[in-house]
């Protein structure tokens, strides 16, 4: 997305429909999020309710800096059912659309 027009998967978070476009996974699944930063800014990415592993055997993190032009895979175990926000931790990026919901039930 263009500078100052942030989103996830080309979609801006819709505050009127917060679960619209939610990323559906299944409990017990090992999930891989592949993130590509197409902007010129850093984005500290965070997923609530889980820790992510950077790459197949990298460190486990709470928040991962995604550099301009960088692609990272972030793996997590879907072991905490619910609706969880994933977002850029720069609050003004998240509030302007760089947020999404990962959801699954028990």
87 binds Cu ion (CB under 5 A): no
Which CB atom, from 44 or from 81, has the smaller least distance to Cu ion?
Answer: 44
46 binds Cu ion (CB under 5 A): no
Q: Do the Cβ atoms of 106 and 27 come closer than 8 Å? A: yes
H helix and E strand count, the chain: 1, 9
Token representation of residue 3 = 């500078």
Stretch of residues binding Cu ion (CB under 5 A), selected from 9-17, 18-26, 68-76, 92-100: 92-100
How far is the C-alpha of 97 from the C-alpha of 72, rounded, in Å? 20
**Nearby residues of 94 by Cβ (< 8 Å), 6 or more positions away:** 13, 87, 88
Min. distance of Cβ 66 from Cu ion in angstroms?
A: 8
Tell which one of 74, 78, 88, 102 touches Cu ion (CB under 5 A).
Answer: 88
Map residue 39 onto helix, strand or coil. Answer: coil
x/- letters, 6..45, toward Cu ion (CB under 5 A):
-------------------------------------x--
99 binds Cu ion (CB under 5 A): no
């Amino acid at each position: 997305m263009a500078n100052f027009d942030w989103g996830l998967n080309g979609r801006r978070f819709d505050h009127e429909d917060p679960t619209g476009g939610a990323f559906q996974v299944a409990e017990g699944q090992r999930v891989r999020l592949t993130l590509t930063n197409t902007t010129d800014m850093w984005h500290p990415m965070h997923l609530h309710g889980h820790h992510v592993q950077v790459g197949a055997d990298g460190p486990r993190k709470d928040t991962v800096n995604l550099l301009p032009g960088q692609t990272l895979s972030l793996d997590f175990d879907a072991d905490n059912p619910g609706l969880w926000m994933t977002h850029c931790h720069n609050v003004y990026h998240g509030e302007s659309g760089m947020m999404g919901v990962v959801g699954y039930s028990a």
